Amino acid sequence: MERRRLGRTELMTSVLGYGCGAVGGLMVRGTAAEQERAIARAIELGINYFDTAPLYGDGESERNLGRALAALRHPDVVIGTKSRLPADTAPGRIGELLTASLDDSLRRLGRDHVDLFQLHNSIAAAGTGSTLAADVVLDEVRHAFERLRQQGKARFIGITAVGETAALHRVVDARAFDTAQVVYNVLNPTAGGPPLDSMPGQDYDRLLDRTRQADMGVIGIRALAGGALSGSEARHPVGLPTVEPIGSGPSYAADAARARRLEALVKEGHAAGLIEAALRFVISHAAISTMLVGTSTIEELEIAARAVAAGRLPPAALAQARALAAG
Ligand SMILES: NC(=O)c1ccc[n+]([C@@H]2O[C@H](COP(=O)([O-])OP(=O)(O)OC[C@H]3O[C@@H](n4cnc5c(N)ncnc54)[C@H](OP(=O)(O)O)[C@@H]3O)[C@@H](O)[C@H]2O)c1
Q: Which ligand 1 atom minimizes the distance to the CA of 221?
A: 16
Residues 62, 56 contacting (CB under 8 angstroms): yes
What's the rounded Cα separation, in Å, for the pair 327 and 323?
6
185 pocket-lining for ligand 1 (C-beta < 6 Å): no
CATH of domain 3-326: 3.20.20.100
Mind listing the pLDDT tens digit of every residue in the chain (327 residues)? Answer: 999 999 999 999 999 999 999 999 999 999 999 999 999 999 999 999 999 999 999 999 999 999 999 999 999 999 999 999 999 899 899 999 999 999 999 999 999 999 999 999 999 999 999 999 999 999 999 999 999 999 999 999 999 999 999 999 999 999 999 999 999 999 999 999 887 777 889 999 999 999 999 999 999 999 999 999 999 999 999 999 999 999 999 999 999 999 999 999 999 999 999 999 999 999 999 999 999 999 999 999 999 999 999 999 999 999 999 999 987
239 pocket-lining for ligand 1 (C-beta < 6 Å): yes
270 pocket-lining for ligand 1 (C-beta < 6 Å): no
84 pocket-lining for ligand 1 (C-beta < 6 Å): no
Nearest C-alpha neighbor of 16 from the set 64, 77, 75, 63 = 77
pTM: 0.98
Distances (CA, A) of 174 to 81, 112, 169, 181: 22, 29, 9, 16
For residue 143, the CA-to-ligand 1 centroid distance in Å is 31
Could you tell which of 181, 295, 297, 308 is best to mutate to test the pocket of ligand 1, judged by most ligand atoms within 8 Å of the CB? 295
Atom 28 in ligand 1: which residue has the minimum CA distance? Answer: 300
Report domain extents, the chain: 3-326
160: Cβ contacts below 8 Å, ≥ 6 apart: 82, 118, 119, 120, 121, 122, 123, 180, 181, 221
